[in-house]
Chain A
Amino acid sequence: MRENEVLVQEFTEEAKSHTEKIEVGLLALEKGEKTDDLVNEVFRCAHSIKGTGSFFGLHKIVELAHAMENLLGRVRNKSLDIDQTIIDALLEANDVLKHLIGHVATSNEEDISLSLSALRQFLGENTEGKALTRTLTLQESASVQMQEQRADQDSVDYSSLFKELIKKGHKVYKLCYSPKADRLPTEKAFAEMSGSIHSIGKMLLSRPYGTDIGSGAESDVLFVFSTILDKELVLIALGLDMQAIIELDIRHEEQAVIAELTSLAHSPGKAAMEKIPTRHPSLTTAGQEEEPSPPTRDEERIRVDVGLLNNLVNLSSEMILARNQLLRLLADSAGQIPGLSAVLQKINHTTTSLQENIMQTRMQPVANLFNAIPRMVRELSKSLGKEVALVVEGQEVELDRSIIEGLKDPFTHLIRNALDHGIETPKERERSGKPRTAALRIAASSGCGRVTIDITDDGAGVDVNRVRQKALEKGLVDPEKATSMSENEVLRLVFLPGFSTSEQISSVSGRGVGLDVVKANVEKLGGTVEVYTERRAGTTFRLVLPLTLAIIPSLLVESSGHGFALPQAGLLKILRLVPGEIHKFEEIQGQRVLRLKNTLLPVVMLSEAVGLPPAAVKDRANIPRLLVLQTGTQNFGLVVDKINDREDILVKPLPGYLETKQVYSGVTILGDGKIAMVLDTKGLANTIHRAEEQVADETGTVEKGLSEDVKTKVMLFMASGSETFGLCMAEVARVVPINPQEIEHIGGKEYYYFQGNILRLLHLEQYLPLKPQQPVDRTYLIIPKVNGVKFALVAAKIKDTVETVLHFLPSAFSARGLAGSLLVEGKVVLLLSLPELFTLVEETELAGRRENGQ
């Protein structure tokens, strides 16, 4: 039943998100946020799961959810006070629930008695009353239908039916429904109400109550039904008010109820009602009925299949390539065909926007990654006996979905690491004069096309000397090297496989399998990981990730007549090898090297690495190039015959049949439609003979401080003061010189009308701690590349555009809105972080409005 599969899938996703909310809610309650809303929300989530689960016959899930719901219900109506033990029990039950949901197919066979008893002990009473249910299965719901149509209610054995209902925890209600109130024709009203009742429970009896039967005149209708729901929920589910239903007490007044029902059943008019068709219990109403209040979040969202999104991403990338080709082909003829130029411009612009928007669909907030952390920290700190206060910032920062997925494992490990090794026991902390509770801070920030996530602890810091020692012991580094290495270089050693300074291997970590895997995983996603530490003060692990996986800048190179694409990340230098110089290659232990300044660089011939015969000497009309590449701690040179072009490419995965080749990381379709293999820098490095690992470790040619080596284009400008600001070109859409007189002043703010948009002008002086100066006569507007642009920055002077490495100075001057300060050509430049700036602006607005009592 394909359809059922899809529905179960939807249930699973929804239920999963509910359990996550439950966990977050419970942890918040634990912290002391004892608000009613919070309890309500957790309750609702459990209720939801129970309700929808029942339609799929997921008995254990329903049972467990029901137990949780009962317990939460008690807390909610204040008959139980929430405390640590209750929260523990609920959290644990939630874990089991998560597990069941993760394995729906086999969930009914799992044993949940432990969790159930743990929960029940708080309920204090025997289980019969608030019975845990075996609720309606799809099959039963269908049979409800049939029972409906079964003519004789007489033959129903109420006594045993009631016993069953009691066991299931159902209640019986009598509803006298007057369709007149709804102004619907009786039959329709009957059908609708009947359908609603079916969706929440089981119909026991239904018939017209008044005397005009079958005459078509409007009359009251009587329903008697059983359902799990409490009265208030029934009323809401059926859209009725208080007086409309009466609960029949089948527990204590069984006989009376039976008598009443029998007499009702026997009344005339039954026959007419049988024929009315009733709706199938719809699977979604069970979910909807639990919301006693309107949905608290008005988000307009729809669910989209991830595969579909991936297709969109692929298609949009192909579109970009096709557009590139189109522009290339028509570049010359554009002038000759009237109007063509404008159309090409439009296509160009639209395609770019399309691409950007589609990439946006794959963006998810990092909150998805961060949600699991509080729980993890809680559990770990308990088991390790440490006290940790967790601070999480920047949850709204967005990352490509697949990057978030890929970060889950590395994250877990880094946090375990911080808790296990970094943070000391409370006693140790007190001894060193630190507060007992350690601080663990997880902060995400974005800017300039990348996202930075910091995991900072104020623990013991990494002992550089011990690292050096351990590395020596394990033979991971050469003794000579070890003494001459800089502190940063030694720190980087922790990322080597097999490295660990801990004395024991705990169950949590210490096996030394962690950090190198973390590094590898992060690099696979196109990011980098760095570590900063200060002895006794703490450690920071910094992950820097690209905003998107898909398109990367690359260099198109050629060797032996074949073309390849080499990702630009990790490219340090390009050298021309003038023919005489080839002979400057030396050989050390069988590995070709090049003496470069005072270092030895291992050299890889691309043709060799891919298995091609080297180009015959006479073909080498060109001067071969040597590309200096960096991977991890090693530099090497790659010799290619030609460098053809620079192109942004979309890397597609290698076809399965080629997976053995480590030098390739994927394939790509170039702008001209041809396919090129994409080289893997790391894979190429691996073709170097192992013995030479030590040889190429640069001593100082690469900047220390572990900053990004890739150069970024930054635009320098000045506002009205003397400070120079910088903004990543990637974030700038346009720069427009304007006449200050055209600025409109409305309500104390400044606006400018540009190309159909009304832009709010931002003066940096208003938001950053700067000295405001006089207004100037020439003004420029910097329009940022944002979707739905509404702000523009005001600049007095546009200075220059430089390509520089984003190496931030340890800054004395830092403020919100600034990503950091750079040193560019001897001058200090304050690099803006647009996202932070915009948030700052909006917050200031909000504060201002509140003050004004708006």
Chain B
Amino acid sequence: MGNKLLTFYVGESLCGIDIAQVKEITRKVEYTEVIAEDDRLIGLMNLRGQVVTLVDLAKMAELPLQERRETYCVVLKEDKKRQDAAGFFADNLGEVLEIESGLRKMPPLREGRTQLAEYVVQREKDLILVFDVYKLLNKA
């Protein structure tokens, strides 16, 4: 994973993803709900002619779910394996951070909310959980 992270909030959790994976960020748009057996799927969105699958990052990453404001939609670039694009909702956006590899730490296993993350970044006041969304999605 690269060095630049997009940070954002899902509920109270501060998360990050490699900015190279991000296609664009839009304010919440209309989408069509989809009923699927996989409850991580929220629905489908029309992005200028392309169909984007909206997924529930909170569910996938097992983050504590509080009220979701879902202000922003982060659309990712296409998953190379499947050629489909996915996106998820973020409640708030943080900064774009440059992370030196030295600051990365692998999450200890079995510790609640960090275990599905790719790695974590420990800062003075907070902890950033960095996820690889497609990896999580392709798991099940």
Residues of A within 8 A of B (CB): 314-315, 318, 562-563, 610-612, 652, 655-658, 660-661, 667, 669, 673-677
Looking at B28-36, B61-69, B118-126, the stretch in contact with chain A turns out to be B28-36
Q: Is the CB of B32 within 8 A of A674?
A: yes
A610 to B36, CA, bound (A): 8
Q: Can you name the residue of chain A whose Cβ is closest to the Cβ of B86?
A: A657
Q: Is the CB of A676 within 8 A of B32?
A: yes
Q: Is the CB of A675 within 8 A of B86?
A: no
Given contacts A655-B84, A657-B41, whether A669 and B36 have CB atoms under 8 Å apart is no
Give 5 pairs: A residue, B residue, CB < 8 Å, sorted on A.
A318-B49, A656-B53, A675-B45, A675-B51, A676-B32
A838 to B74, CA, bound (A): 55
Given contacts A673-B46, A675-B31, whether A658 and B36 have CB atoms under 8 Å apart is yes
A661 to B35, CA, bound (A): 9
The answer to whether B100 has its CB under 8 Å from any CB of chain A is no
A318 to B48, CA, bound (A): 9
The answer to whether B37 has its CB under 8 Å from any CB of chain A is yes
A67 to B53, CA, bound (A): 55
Q: Is the CB of B137 within 8 A of A657?
A: yes
Given contacts A655-B51, A657-B53, A669-B51, whether A674 and B35 have CB atoms under 8 Å apart is no
Q: Can you name the residue of chain B whose Cβ is closest to the Cβ of A657?
A: B53
Given contacts A669-B49, A675-B51, whether A655 and B44 have CB atoms under 8 Å apart is yes
Name the B residues within 8 Å of A611 (CB-CB): 35-37
A658 to B45, CA, bound (A): 14
The answer to whether B38 has its CB under 8 Å from any CB of chain A is yes
Name the A residues within 8 Å of B53 (CB-CB): 655-658
Q: Which of A315, A612, A669 contacts B35 (CB 8 A)?
A: A612
Q: Can you name the residue of chain A whose Cβ is closest to the Cβ of B32?
A: A675
A611 to B55, CA, bound (A): 18
A563 to B34, CA, bound (A): 10
B34 to chain A, nearest CB (A): 7
A612 to B35, CA, bound (A): 7
B137 to chain A, nearest CB (A): 7
Task: Report the interface size class on chain B.
Answer: 20 to 34
B73 to chain A, nearest CB (A): 14
Name the A residues within 8 Å of B86 (CB-CB): 657
A660 to B82, CA, bound (A): 15
B17-42: CB near A (< 8 Å → 1, else 0) gives 00000000000001111111110010
Q: Is the CB of B51 within 8 A of A610?
A: no
Q: Can you name the residue of chain A whose Cβ is closest to the Cβ of B40?
A: A657
Q: Besides the contacts A562-B35, A657-B36, A675-B45, what 18 more A-B pairs have beta carbons closer than 8 Å? A: A318-B49, A610-B35, A611-B36, A611-B37, A652-B51, A656-B82, A657-B38, A657-B84, A661-B37, A667-B44, A667-B51, A669-B49, A669-B51, A673-B30, A675-B31, A675-B51, A676-B32, A677-B32
A656 to B33, CA, bound (A): 16
Q: Is the CB of B30 within 8 A of A658?
A: no
Q: Is the CB of B35 within 8 A of A675?
A: no
Closest A-B pairs by Cβ, 9 of them: A656-B82, A675-B32, A318-B49, A655-B53, A655-B84, A611-B35, A656-B84, A675-B44, A657-B53
A611 to B38, CA, bound (A): 12
Given contacts A674-B46, A675-B46, whether A658 and B32 have CB atoms under 8 Å apart is no
Q: Is the CB of A674 within 8 A of B30?
A: yes
**In chain B between 48 and 82, which residues have their CB closer than 8 angstroms to a CB of chain A?**
49, 51, 53, 55, 79, 82
Name the A residues within 8 Å of B84 (CB-CB): 655-657
Listed residue (A562, A563, A655, A661) with the most chain B CB atoms within 10 angstroms of its CB: A655
A655 to B137, CA, bound (A): 13
A610 to B33, CA, bound (A): 12
A318 to B31, CA, bound (A): 18
A44 to B36, CA, bound (A): 58
Name the A residues within 8 Å of B30 (CB-CB): 673-674
B131 to chain A, nearest CB (A): 17
A562 to B55, CA, bound (A): 19
Q: Is the CB of B41 within 8 A of A658?
A: yes
Q: Is the CB of B49 within 8 A of A658?
A: no
Name the A residues within 8 Å of B31 (CB-CB): 675
A565 to chain B, nearest CB (A): 11
A682 to B65, CA, bound (A): 39
Q: Is the CB of B34 within 8 A of A677?
A: yes
Name the A residues within 8 Å of B137 (CB-CB): 657
A673 to B47, CA, bound (A): 9
Listed residue (A610, A612, A657, A661) with the most chain B CB atoms within 10 angstroms of its CB: A657
Q: Can you name the residue of chain B whose Cβ is closest to the Cβ of A676?
A: B32
Name the A residues within 8 Å of B51 (CB-CB): 652, 655, 667, 669, 675
Q: Is the CB of A661 within 8 A of B46?
A: no
A563 to B35, CA, bound (A): 12
